[in-house]
Each structure stands twice: as C-alpha cells, then as structure tokens.
A and B are shown apart, each in its own frame.
Chain A
C-alpha cells in the first residue's frame, strides 16, 4: 500500500497477539492503516475482527497478555514500544479516545468536573481551579444542559448519552489531532445515537481534528466517514473512499456486510384470520423504594393501559427505546408478570389464571430472549436445554423419542444434530440464538414473543436469524410479537407496528404507513434518527 500524503498517523504491519490459557490468539495480523489530518476514517468489522485491538495497541492500552509488533508513527514519533512516560505526553493531548461503555468509562468515585480537569492538569500544568473555566466551556460545547450544576455531578447521576458527551468533552480538552471513537454509540438508544453522531460531526467541523471511528455497523458511517477500512479476522480486507466502497465493493465480505441488512417486508394476514392473543387495557406497575424513614414507595407505570390484538400468522412489531415498557408488555401478555386488565388467548380468559392454570398453555405461548448468553443454562447440554419443555408438556415421551424431537428441532433451526451433546458456551452468539429458538419451536407453539432476539448479534448474523424466523413463521403459521429497538429489523419482520414511549402507545398502524408517514412527533424523531444512520443508500 502506497504511503498517503500528509498522513499524521501511519500504521504499518501492526500485529497483535494474545497469550491465553487456550493458546495464542492472533487478533491483528500485520495491518496497514493511515489517518490524514482532519479526515474521518472508519474502521468497520464485526466482533472479533481486531478493530478495537488495533487502536488499543497504538494507544498502549493492550491487556497484559497482549504482544504487539510493527510500527505506528504519529507525525514523527514512533508510538509502538514507546516508554509509558513519553507515551503519556501524547495520549490525552494529541491523540484521545472515547469508548463504547459510557456507563463504566468514567470513574464512579469522582465528580465529572474533577475528572475532566485531569487531562488539563497533567498535560497543561493547570491547577484544578485554572482548569475549571475550560471544563465549563467544554461542557457547553458538547451540549450538556445546566453545566454549572452538572460539573459537580457524579457519573451515576448522568444518563448514558450525557456520560458519552462528558467523555467527548474530556477528549477535546487539549485540542487533539486525532480522536479515536471506539463504538461510541453502540450502547445508546437510536435517538441518542443520532445526537452523538451529529455532535461528533459538528465538533469536527468546528475544531478540525481527525476522527477514527470504530464500529461494527457499516451503514452508520456512510455520511460520516471519508474513508473506510473493512476488517475481518485481524486483517484489512478492503479499504477506500466511502462512496466508492459503498457503490462498488470489491471484497466478498464487504458485499456481504452491505447486504447484511435485513430486507423484505411482511404481508399482513388476511382480515379473516382469527385473533389469537388479545390484551385489553393491560397495566403493569412496579413499586420503587419505600421503607423506614425513606418515605412512601413510588409507583412506576411500566405499562400503562395498552391494548393489543395479535392475529393468526401476524407479526406485531413493538418499537421503543430502553425503558419504554415494551419487554414488560411482552411478558405481561404471556402472564409471566402480574398485571391488570384483560388478557385472552383463543377463547380463554387468562386475566386471573395462576401459575398452575397457565402451565398447559405455556406450550402454545413461547418466548425468545435477547441475550443468547444469559438465556441458556450454562450447566445443561444443548439437548437438555431444548427438551426441557417436553419434560413438562409431554412427560410420556421416551428418552429416545425426545432425542429424535431434539434432532428435528435442531435441524429446523439449521444446527447440526451433534450439537445436542455440547454445552452452550461452545457456540457463537448466533448459534446460541438458534438453540433458544429451537427450545421454543420444539413445543410447536402458536404464539411466540420475540424479545429483541437479534439485538445482541452482528449484522450478518442478524440477517440469518431474521430469515430463520420468517421461514419458521411461514412453515408453521406462527404469530409473532416482535419486540425491538431496531427499526430496520422490525421493518423487515412486522406487518403491524406499535410505537411505545414511557409505558404508553404513541402510535400504531401498518408497517408501511408508520414508516412512510409517521404522525406522532416521537415516531418522527425515532424514524429520523434511524434514517439518519441507516438509510443513506436510498438517498445516495
């Protein structure tokens, strides 16, 4: 690769290895990379591609079992192998970094004003008092409301988006040349994500630093980045100017990533389709606090009088940001949480059904969770996991018959029959999610609540799971309640959409109507945020 003019960060043959108990892991395999002054470079790759470790290596932040070789020159200074003391004159001053986890990246024990002042104190030799006006200025710059008060807040008193703003402010304190942003929006809600991206773009225009943007989501950097590096398994498989790469991807992997977004639409069921699961004025409230000397408890309305009717063969998408009550609604409809209001399944009233009465119905009403790591018991084999429901609902089955059903279910979700003798931790996230789906499908249910089933997965895996769910729906005439914050996925899966905010429905309707013509201002914000980050291909 030819040298690029006025490159301020030139990485050559960078190689990162980790020594672990299970042998050596080759995380980054001799990659080359350049960053020019003032440009935005995106490094895109799915989990395990080595994109973060590349930047960690340059910043001298590798875990202690990591070994790095190759070179990384910042202007005329070699960063790799530089003594910590000299490296400290560059990081935090010339090159700064923000991270994916705004919740934990700030020290919980100190006020944010104090933490933000530290880079100024140790790089510019200011006292805490001298740094204060600058800190205040930075807080205003990143749009923190009421900075006079916030400067004395502790991190846990701020929201996720605000913490990420504080991190950005801190990164800008010393007017850096390069700002490395490691998945800065992944942990945030879509609307916040859009705000943070807009803020970064605005700040770059104002201040002119280069930004290295690390992300797993190729689509969100289209408008944002000048150039893109695509990484896979420790190698750069393709790089180039953003538009070129989007219009004419060369490498198969890039093509796959671009096509990874779930596409297609779901047709609504015929109007004659019977209503299977119906909730009327469903209400769930949680008691918060309360106790000796701390005042009366506060009632939180997690789900506030919501009515839903799910028809046979229908997929209702429930959309909302974290805390909107969408997962609570899903669980309440399955009577897994105590709730008020009426719930009917087929012709039975479930409103008063207790655990015992619900048990036979559980076969018909299934649930798939978001986290494919937490939802499988680590001490059970995959075979035991997926046949647990059979033990409850078809206790008369012989062991052999159960095994046959397990193999059948695994085949149906595209897993090898031999997987049933292995343990969940041996599988990747997508495979685990397939196991979780097999666990639900083995009972041949009528209604499945899918609680963010794709949110913890890489884009390319997401697409596979969406396709699997669609196929299963078509094969078995299933009804889905699809809960997600990801509009792209919902659009591909659902024929009807409910938008929730703070426990209430703000808007509902056919998928096409909601996407093309959102009426409520919150839906519009949500759409705008999603469109901002994901839909440039249509515009471009």
Chain B
C-alpha cells in the first residue's frame, strides 16, 4: 500500500514538470507582452521594468530562474498588480475559493449519492423520474445561466440573500448553490447508474439469497461498490471547484482566484497565469492521488495491480 502511494507520487512529479514547461513556453510565445497594453511610456522605464521582472534575460534563463523560484515556493511578483506578489494574491484568494468549492462539493456528494441511490432503488417510479429530471436539468443548464437567474430571484426580486459580494452573512449561499447544482446532478446520475448495475450483479443476488436484511444488502454490499465511479469522478472535479470558478466569481463578485487566469492571460501577467496553472495542477495531482488511495482502500482488487 505504501509502495503504491509512493509510486503514484513519483509519477506525479514529471507530470507537474511537463505542465509547467508547456505553460511557460506557450505563454511566452504568445504575441504581446505585459507592458504593451499601457499608454506609451519612456523606453527607459520599460527597460527598468523588464529588468525588475527578469524579462531582459534570454528565455531559457528565465525558465530556469522560474523553476528555481518555484522549487522554493516563490511564484514571483505580479505584473499587473504591482503591489502584490502572486503568493500574496493566492494567500488572500485561495481560501475563499476553497471554501466555496469545498462546500459545493460536499453538498453535491451527499445529496447526489442519496438521490442517485434512491432513484436506483425505485427505478422507473416517480422518484426515479424526478431525480433523473432534476439531474438532466442540473447538467444541462450552464452556471452562467443559473447564476444570474438565482441572483435575480433571491437577490433582486425577493431580496432574501445578497445578490453578490463577499463577507455578508448568506453571501456564500448562491455561489455555492450555483456550483453544487450541476455536480450534484452528475453525482446523482453516476450513483444511479452504478447502483442499478451493482443491484443486478451476482453477488447481490447471493446476499439476497442468504436472507440478509435489505439494509445490509444496500449499505454493506451495494453502496460501497456503487460509490466507486463517484470517487473517481470527484478527484478532478474537486480540484477544479476548489481552484475557483471564473463564472461564479465574476457574477457574484467574489474575491477568489478563479478570475486570475483569464485576467492574467489577457493582461499578459505571466507570473499570475503561471501561478494559477501551478496551483491548479497541484490541486489536480493531489486530488487524483487522494482518489487513487481512497479507491484502493474501497476496492481491494486494485491494490495489487
């Protein structure tokens, strides 16, 4: 088991390295630069700026320098937000995004599995049809439609919740709801499909033939197997949600890190974009690792592969 974890960890490092490398060079090869977008300034100032950001050195050297700093946990200064380092930006923004994303994923997991297994147990009943209906709804309607409509109904029309902003009581509700809805829908569908399949399998027939109470058949023998696809789905999804959603953060005006990537790419804020890529990649790698370990714990068959 320990060897398994170590092996998975070892294979994550080259992945991260490749991602950082591709991102770095793609970004630098894109036309335009961080100092193009402003009013014409004195070339001398630009020279100084470039020197300050190490932009005067050849690209390979900049790359090595970036890697070196990265190894020391330094993501560099932001190009567009001059008073902040990228580390600072993440120190403020990341907790907000993680809080919203984490809550959303927890809600999606709990409600999704419960609804999905209910639907599977009552297959082709009204419970099943309504869960499938709600799930299709949740999967189909994109967050950038849900978000403004929720904001319109609960924020503007009824005024029950803040229509946007961060910090006020209840300001988390609408963003979390927007994020959780589609994930809950997907989890419910996955759980339903898996449960139906498990319920049809031979070992469930065995459990029933031996007169085990239905709660044992359900919780001991069905749930564990039917949650497996949900576990593998949740890895990358949790990583994506916790690193912030640009749509939700834009519409509700939340100071998370979701917007940094788009803003950074448009403003050629190299360090900010790279920082976002690194943070997202680390989250993806870490959550995939957690998922693999969890999966191996739940399913003894994969432990020895």
- Direct touching of A and B (C-beta under 8 Å): yes
Chain A interface (Cβ < 8 Å from any Cβ of B): 59-61, 64, 84-85, 87-93, 96-97, 99, 101, 104-110, 118-119, 122-123, 154, 156, 167, 170, 292-293
Report the bound CA distance from A75 to B209 in whole Å. Answer: 19
Whether the Cβ atoms of A96 and B210 lie closer than 8 Å is yes
Q: List, in ascending order, chain A residues with CB within 8 A of B82's CB.
A: none
A-B pairs with CB below 8 Å: how many?
86
The 9 lowest CB-CB distance pairs between A and B, nearest first, are A92-B211, A92-B210, A88-B211, A104-B202, A91-B211, A107-B203, A97-B209, A154-B300, A105-B202
* Closest B residue, CB atoms, query A114: B220
Say yes or no for B299: interface residue by CB 8 A criterion: yes
Report the bound CA distance from A122 to B212 in whole Å. Answer: 6
* Cβ proximity bits B150-168 to A, threshold 8 Å, 1 near / 0 not: 0000000000000000000
Closest chain-A Cβ to B155's Cβ sits at a distance in Å of: 45
Report the bound CA distance from A498 to B277 in whole Å. Answer: 64
Closest chain-A Cβ to B8's Cβ sits at a distance in Å of: 10
Whether the Cβ atoms of A88 and B205 lie closer than 8 Å is no
Whether the Cβ atoms of B210 and A106 lie closer than 8 Å is no
Question: Which of the residues B10, B209, B301 comes within 8 Å of A293, measured between beta carbons?
Answer: B10
* Closest A residue, CB atoms, query B214: A84
Whether the Cβ atoms of B123 and A64 lie closer than 8 Å is yes
Q: List, in ascending order, chain B residues with CB within 8 A of A110's CB.
A: 220-221
* Closest A residue, CB atoms, query B301: A156
Report the bound CA distance from A96 to B210 in whole Å. Answer: 6
* Closest B residue, CB atoms, query A289: B305
Number of interface residues of B (CB under 8 A): 28
Report the bound CA distance from A93 to B224 in whole Å. Answer: 25
Whether the Cβ atoms of A109 and B225 lie closer than 8 Å is yes
5 additional contacts (CB under 8 A) given A101-B202, A108-B225:
A64-B123, A107-B225, A119-B210, A170-B210, A293-B3
Report the bound CA distance from A87 to B212 in whole Å. Answer: 10
Q: List, in ascending order, chain A residues with CB within 8 A of B225's CB.
A: 107-109
Q: List, in ascending order, chain B residues with CB within 8 A of A292's CB.
A: 7, 10-11
Q: List, in ascending order, chain B residues with CB within 8 A of A105's CB.
A: 202-203, 205-206
Q: List, in ascending order, chain A residues with CB within 8 A of B221's CB.
A: 107, 109-110
Q: Which residues in chain B, 264-296, are within 8 Å of chain A measured between CB atoms?
A: none
Whether the Cβ atoms of B209 and A91 lie closer than 8 Å is yes
Whether the Cβ atoms of A119 and B201 lie closer than 8 Å is no
Question: Which of the residues A87, A122, A293 comes within 8 Å of B7, measured between beta carbons?
Answer: A293
Whether the Cβ atoms of A119 and B203 lie closer than 8 Å is no
Report the bound CA distance from A166 to B265 in whole Å. Answer: 62
Q: List, in ascending order, chain B residues with CB within 8 A of A97's CB.
A: 209-210
Question: Which of the residues A93, A104, A107, A167 comes within 8 Å of B211, measured between beta carbons?
Answer: A93
* Closest B residue, CB atoms, query A170: B210
Question: Which of the residues A108, A119, A122 comes within 8 Å of B300, measured between beta carbons?
Answer: A108
Report the bound CA distance from A92 to B210 in whole Å. Answer: 3
Whether the Cβ atoms of B224 and A109 lie closer than 8 Å is yes
Report the bound CA distance from A119 to B208 in whole Å. Answer: 10
Q: List, in ascending order, chain B residues with CB within 8 A of A96's CB.
A: 209-210
Report the bound CA distance from A449 to B213 in whole Å. Answer: 51
* Closest B residue, CB atoms, query A64: B123
Whether the Cβ atoms of B205 and A61 lie closer than 8 Å is yes
* Closest B residue, CB atoms, query A155: B203
Closest chain-A Cβ to B259's Cβ sits at a distance in Å of: 39
Q: List, in ascending order, chain B residues with CB within 8 A of A118's CB.
A: 207, 210, 212, 216, 220
Q: List, in ascending order, chain A residues with CB within 8 A of B220's CB.
A: 110, 118
Closest chain-B Cβ to A50's Cβ sits at a distance in Å of: 17
Question: Which of the residues A60, A89, A108, A123 comes within 8 Å of B301, measured between beta carbons?
Answer: A108
Say yes or no for B298: interface residue by CB 8 A criterion: yes
* Cβ proximity bits B103-136 to A, threshold 8 Å, 1 near / 0 not: 0000000000000000000010000000000000
* Cβ proximity bits B201-238 to A, threshold 8 Å, 1 near / 0 not: 11101111111111010001100110000000000000
Whether the Cβ atoms of B208 and A61 lie closer than 8 Å is yes
Whether the Cβ atoms of A90 and B211 lie closer than 8 Å is yes
Question: Which of the residues A64, A90, A92, A108 comes within 8 Å of B212, measured between beta carbons?
Answer: A92
Question: Which of the residues A91, A109, A154 comes within 8 Å of B210, measured between beta carbons?
Answer: A91
11 A-B contact pairs sorted by A residue (CB < 8 Å): A59-B209, A61-B208, A99-B202, A104-B201, A105-B205, A107-B225, A108-B225, A118-B207, A118-B216, A292-B7, A293-B7
Question: Which of the residues A90, A91, A104, A122 comes within 8 Å of B203, measured between beta carbons?
Answer: A104
Q: Knowing A92-B212, A119-B210, A293-B3 touch, does A109 contact B205 (C-beta < 8 A)?
A: no
* Closest A residue, CB atoms, query B210: A92
Q: Knowing A109-B298, A292-B7, A293-B3 touch, does A88 contact B213 (C-beta < 8 A)?
A: yes
* Closest B residue, CB atoms, query A60: B208
* Closest B residue, CB atoms, query A107: B203
Whether the Cβ atoms of A99 and B212 lie closer than 8 Å is no
Whether the Cβ atoms of B211 and A119 lie closer than 8 Å is yes
Closest chain-B Cβ to A210's Cβ sits at a distance in Å of: 16
* Closest B residue, CB atoms, query A182: B209
Report the bound CA distance from A170 to B203 in whole Å. Answer: 13
Closest chain-A Cβ to B214's Cβ sits at a distance in Å of: 7
Report the bound CA distance from A170 to B3 in whole Å. Answer: 35
